Structure 1
Amino acid sequence: MKIKNKQSLSITNKLAMTTQIQLAIKLLQLNSLDLQKEIDEQIISNPFLEHENYIELSAISQEMSISTGNLEVKSVDQLNDIPVNQENLRDYLIWQLRLSSLTDKDRLIAYHIIDYINDDGYLTINAKDLFLMLNKNMEINFQEIFAVLHRVQTFDPIGVGANNLIECLEIQLNHFYKNHENYSITTNILNKVKNNPNANIVELDLLLNEINQHDESVSVMELIKSLNPKPGLMFVGNLDQHQIIPDIVVSKKEGKWVTELNPTINPKIKINKIYVDMITNIKNKEDKEYLKSNLQNAKFFLKALKNRNLTILQVAKLIFEEQREFLNQGEIGIKPLTLKDISKTINMHESTVSRCTNNKFVQTPRGVYEMKYFFSSELKTNLGESISSRAIKSLLENIIKKEDKLDPLSDLQISDSLSKNGIKVARRTISKYREMLSIPKANDRKIK
């Protein structure tokens, strides 16, 4: 068998992943915080890029450096009293305890109390068990325990060491709002809920019901909202915290819903004209090539940044054209929507739409949501119309919220209720959605 070498020519079209395309894809995937980091890195590495308000920022920083010259330096003793890098709530409470004027006996009681305070700031042991434990090693009475506990509850953060939500709110109310015009009304509401025999089971529901019975419900609610239900969380060192900055803002202007980019996350950057003018005066070939290359990269970056913003805005506008009823009615108004629906309308690939919505957030009058939240599957009603699975979940939450707590509805009863309203949903689907919403079964929801 003879093997012959043969040459042939053919013309084919291939999409090359150029540096510009890679940059465009990278910027499209970044969320607002990562985008800010990328912009800062580009400004540092590329001399042609700068903030438009660079001169203003420089002036402000000089003013700050001048004004700090008059600051009073703390003494070494004062600095030693400042808590540095407190790792958790317990360390912070112990530090305050050491600075307190408690006796050795009371301090020992306080140490035991602090050991039984969880990350939320609540006491996880009752007074009786604490008395039995301490009484083994010292002579003690309940009055001493309550006195020390009351002292610990005045430590920062205020409300720490409470036995339950109502007591936590009560401690903060007495500390911060003793002279508030709604103090008496709010205190009476908290006392009424605290004395309810079912208070430990459904504290929040009882609290909301009591508030709604008063004429000043709005102002009382605002007062309670200003209190911290979990004061200890601000000191939890291992808590995974991250900041969310919306990329898109939806608001109502002159009776119309307007979708626009968040101006605060898109700092205005420009080409530095001084460096552009330098190119013509530089004779060294290597230096000239370096400047030309950086100038070209700066232009590509600005173009890619502009395209990113326009693409995200275009996708967001289409989403809220479809989900206008969400803005008017809430979750119950969400319509079925898929990535494919958007990609067809704007003639983009689904992967591009996915990059535009992944890890991007939108601020609406109803709260801040991830843009992917507005995509959901559909279910058919008896009338042949489509309804979003998110709308079903919202209906499910509302039904359970309004049910009789003494005789809660089963999944089958909820399914039948929806069917009577033209929405046919199987019992197992109701169970699945209920579990996704972390809502317990009917027997577990029943107040006994």
Structure 2
Amino acid sequence: MVLGPRLDLRQGQQLVMTPQLQQAIKLLALTNLELESFIAAEVEKNPLLEASDNDGDGPDGGPDDIPLEADGADGGDSALDGDLLDGGADVPTADALLDGAMANGNDSPLDIDIDSEIYHHDSASDRMSDGAADGGLESSLSLSSQGSMSGGQPDEDLPGIDGLLIDNRSLTDHLHDQARAAFRDPQSLAIATYLIDLVDDAGYLSEPVEEVAARLGASLAQALGVLKVLQTFEPAGVCARSLGECLKIQAREADRLDPAMEALLDNLDVLAKGDLAALRRICGVDQEDLADMIQELRGYNPKPGLAFGSESAQTVVPDIFVRRMSAGGWGVELNTATLPRVLVNRTYYAELSTRASKAERLFLSECLQSANWLVKALDQRARTILKVATELVRQQEEFFEQGVKALKPLNLKHIAEAIGMHESTVSRVTANKFLACQRGVFELKYFFTSAIQSADGGDAHSAEAVKQRIKELIDQEKPDAILSDDKLVEILVAEKFDIARRTVAKYREALKIPSSVQRRRLKMLEAGQRMNGR
């Protein structure tokens, strides 16, 4: 065998992820708000790109607006014009009107009743003033405190949604301010600062005082003295080392920490078991006094630190609107109010190209190609999201009609096969996307649930529907007839649910519902409170 260099020709196939394809895949997983940030970064890098508001076109002679045209393979309507399901009104799209105007040489096709155009506005939020006669999305999302949403003048007496958010001031900052005013000794202030930094979000000290004293080289008595002062700070109950100590601080603040209350707080485990007879013996009180003590205990805050928050609450902005159409069926459209609109400034490109050097023209050509590809990717993203959402609403139409009990088992494969896409594409589209309908705002992932087989061989049931039924049964149970997990299984099997006891227990725990023993004790305590209240 002779060894030596030689040239060979081989033919093969290889899947290559181009930068453009990677960008298109990345755009699918972004929400509208995340997409806005991405567009802002692209506009900063590309001089030919401009971000525009959704309230109109640019000025004449300015940026050339690249519309999201409906030239897809399926020949459907524009992605931003929405989609109608089963009996929706036959509404001409903007593309059809423009085509008619160009064919006739005049503007007659555009001479229509604007108010009758269902998708004339940018998004469903712009139609809030149309009234709620059909019981659709308008009635569920109307906010009287926002004049632009309800169609009236804003009510200055009512706080806006920003007023409902948690204060940005954290518990740590609040405690540090009090510590600087309470401690004059630098060493005590240093110990207090260290202890405050160990307080968790609920207001409890997360490490033993003995370890803190040893770590700082201070005496245990001095550390305990500083902690005792910290426990007098607001909110009451903060810097406690246990639940009992937290409640004791609040009872002392209310001047109610008598020996009986202190004995009760030292035996919270007995109270959790519902052993009222043992509590009466331990506290040395009668039934009426014990009921008053328990009632007062309910008024204390077991997690005082949660009154402060380090992060403000974030409102969910829906990406898709689903509303019932007056002609029947369901209308699905994107929330274009938060969907960025990109413009390509071709005039700027033409002006620069005439007096640019060869290297500059090459750079401008790359910028123009990148801008055109971005617009195309945004168009494809809008079409894909709308296509997946439309099929999702079609598959779960009974949910929008009847609620959670009618939710069907569904997985990504069902949607992917119905619309001719890959499961990974559907997974990216449904990630971090929210749908708003008359029943509320739901994440798209919510509609994909596992199946519980039917006992009689009929259609399978959704896991969410089974959870809802379990919750209904427990909510309807009587104090003298608490349903155990075994009893829940019997009822569900009688209702044609093929379900095991461990599955019922798992769903009950997922719903944060206590066990039958715990519920029985709670019912006993509540019944005792009602009797003593009379």
TM above 0.5: yes
Select 1:125's aligned residue among 214, 226, 247: 247
Call closer, same or farther: CA 1:270–1:113 in 2, change over 3 Å. closer
Map 1:228-247 to 2 at 5 A. 233=306, 235-237=308-310, 239=311, 241-247=313-319
- Mapping of 1:117-266 within 5 angstroms? 124-125=246-247, 129-130=251-252, 142=255, 233=306, 235-237=308-310, 239=311, 241-254=313-326, 255-266=328-339
Give SS of 1:263's match: coil
How far apart are the structure 2 equivalents of 1:202 and 1:387? 40
Partner Cα distance (1:362, 1:266) in 2: 14
Q: CA deviation at 1:51?
A: 2.5
Q: Deviations over 1:278-306 (max 9, x none)?
A: 24412411111111111110000111011
For 1:392, the equivalent position in structure 2 comes to 466
Task: Map 1:48-63 to 2 at 5 A.
Answer: 48-53=48-53
Letter aligned with residue 114 of structure 1:
P
Q: Is the 8 A contact 2:236 2:250 kept in 1?
A: no
CA distance in 1, matches of 2:16, 2:29: 19
In structure 2, list runs of 5 or more residues that go unmatched: 59-166, 182-228, 258-290, 525-534
Provide the secondary structure at the position in 2 that maps to 1:403: coil
Match in the other structure for 2:26: 26
How far does residue 418 in structure 1 lie from its aligned partner after superposition? 1.0
- Structure 1 pair 409–28 and aligned structure 2 pair: CA distance change class (3 A): same
Aligned to 2:504: 430
| Contact 1:127–1:142 (Cα < 8 Å) also in 2 | no
Alignment length (residue pairs): 326
SS at match of 2:343: strand
1:258-337 equivalences under 5 Å are 258-337=331-410
- Cα deviations across residues 93-129 of structure 1 (Å, max 9, x unaligned)? 8979999xxxxxxxx999545342599xx99535884
**Aligned partner letter, 2:317:** I
Quote the RMSD (CA, aligned, Å): 3.9
The verdict on how the C-alpha distance between 1:32 and 1:54 changes in structure 2, with shifts beyond 3 A counting, is closer
> Offset at 1:404?
1.5
Letter in 1 for 2:15: L
Contact residue 408 and residue 446 of structure 1 kept, 8 A: yes
What SS does the corresponding residue of 2:392 show, helix, strand or coil?
helix
Give secondary structure in 1 for the equivalent of 2:452.
strand
1:243-264 per-position Cα deviation (integer Å, ceiling 9, x unaligned): 4222111122314321110112
Query: Do 1:90 and 1:114's aligned partners in 2 also have CA atoms closer than 8 Å?
Result: no
C-alpha separation between the residues in 2 aligned to 1:341 and 1:371?
Answer: 14
Q: Distance in 2 between matches of 1:11 and 1:323?
A: 47
Give the TM-score of the pair, scaled to structure 2: 0.54
- Is the CA contact 1:246–1:361 (under 8 Å) kept in the aligned structure 2? yes
Letter matched to residue 388 of structure 1: S
Cα distance change of structure 1 residues 31 and 52 upon mapping to structure 2, 3 Å threshold: closer
Counterpart residue number, 1:367: 440
TM-aligned CA distance change 1:260 to 1:397, over 3 Å: same
Whether the 8 Å contact between 1:246 and 1:362 is mirrored in structure 2 is yes
- Aligned residue in 1 for 2:421: 348
Q: Deviations over 1:218-265 (max 9, x none)?
A: xxxxxxxxxxxx99757311x585442221111223143211101122
Paired residue type of 2:31: N
Matched, 1:380 2:456: no
The one of 231, 237, 241 equivalent to 1:116 is 237
Amino acid across the alignment from 2:513: I
Residues 415 and 426, structure 1, Cα contact 8 Å, conserved in 2: yes
User: What is the CA deviation profile of residues 51-97 of structure 1, one whole-angstrom value per residue up to 9, with x for unaligned ones?
Assistant: 23499999xxxxxxxxxxxxxxxxxxxxxxxxxx9742475589799
Corresponding residue of 2:35: 35
Cross-structure match for 2:72:
none
Where 2:13 maps in the other structure, the secondary structure is coil
Instruction: Label 1:118 to 1:419 Cα distance change in 2 as closer, same or farther (>3 A).
Output: farther
One-letter amino acid matched to 1:256: G
Amino acid at match of 2:412: L
Quote how far apart the aligned CAs of 1:342 are: 0.9
The Cα shift of 1:4 comes to 6.8
Q: Counterpart amino acid of 2:237?
A: Y
Q: Percent identity?
A: 34
Equivalents in 1 of 2:497, 2:330: separation in Å?
29
